[in-house]
Chains A and B, each alone.
Chain A
Amino acid sequence: NAGVTQTPKFQVLKTGQSMTLQCAQDMNHEYMSWYRQDPGMGLRLIHYSVGAGITDQGEVPNGYNVSRSTTEDFPLRLLSAAPSQTSVYFCASNPGRTDTQYFGPGTRLTVL
């Protein structure tokens, strides 16, 4: 199993550009989540999904969209990038509500 994979590892965008961060898992987990990590802030939940076709907002959803058309994939879309979205983004999956989350390696995004 590859576990949770994320692409790209690094990305630089200009303000106003759009892009999609990819996340995939091969563990057949129902739950998937996107977090952003900023210094001194821990990880903050952006969006999450409890199954294909079901998504919900987390703590910091503004400026991001998600969809979950398959169990395996959970892409995160930045609609119009802003410097405040410079961060490290982690995708995670878990099989059940209280189960351990498995994290991807992260994507480091810089918005100029």
Chain B
Amino acid sequence: AQSVTQLDSHVSVSEGTPVLLRCNYSSSYSPSLFWYVQHPNKGLQLLLKYTSAATLVKGINGFEAEFKKSETSFHLTKPSAHMSDAAEYFCVVSDRSTLTFGKGTMLLVSP
């Protein structure tokens, strides 16, 4: 069985400050891990994915995530938040045919 825990339901940052969205996972297999973003009333867009290559994964829009097997974590970071980053972010684990989604973290960006 696999599971994902997003440790914060909401994260608030000021524009220009760093972003950290935390994700822990459990999996019986070597997992693939993803971060998706969903802007209000929109579908889901892939930010980045990890599939057992480099542990530091770079994604779109300046986001990156680091896979830490010892900590079973896959936290999402960005050095400097932009207003357009305000959205809901989902950490996702896949170890066989299906994906398991975390409950989501809402990122709020204030001017």
Residues of chain A whose beta carbon lies under 8 Å from any beta carbon of chain B: 31, 33, 35, 40-45, 48, 50, 56, 58, 90, 97-98, 100-101, 103-106
Contact = CB atoms under 8 A, between A and B. Distances in A.
B84 interface: no
Interface of B: 9, 32, 34, 42-44, 46, 49, 51, 90, 94, 96-104
B38 to A, nearest CB: 8
Contacts of A90: 43-44
Contacts of B96: 97
Contacts of A41: 103
Contacts, number: 44
A43 B37 CA distance: 12
B51 A98 contact: yes
B49 A100 contact: yes
B43 A33 contact: no
Contact of A106 (B43, B51, B104): B43
A101 to B, nearest CB: 6
A41 B96 CA distance: 22
Given A40-B9, A98-B32, A106-B43, A33 B51 contact: no
Grouping DSSP codes into helix (H, G, I), strand (E, B) and loop, the A interface class, with mixed when no group exceeds half, is strand
A44 B101 contact: yes
A86 B94 CA distance: 26
A43 B102 CA distance: 8
Contact of A97 (B44, B90, B97, B104): B97
Contacts of B102: 42
Given A43-B101, A98-B32, A103 B44 contact: yes
11 contacts: A40-B103, A42-B90, A42-B101, A45-B98, A45-B100, A90-B43, A100-B34, A100-B49, A103-B43, A104-B43, A106-B43
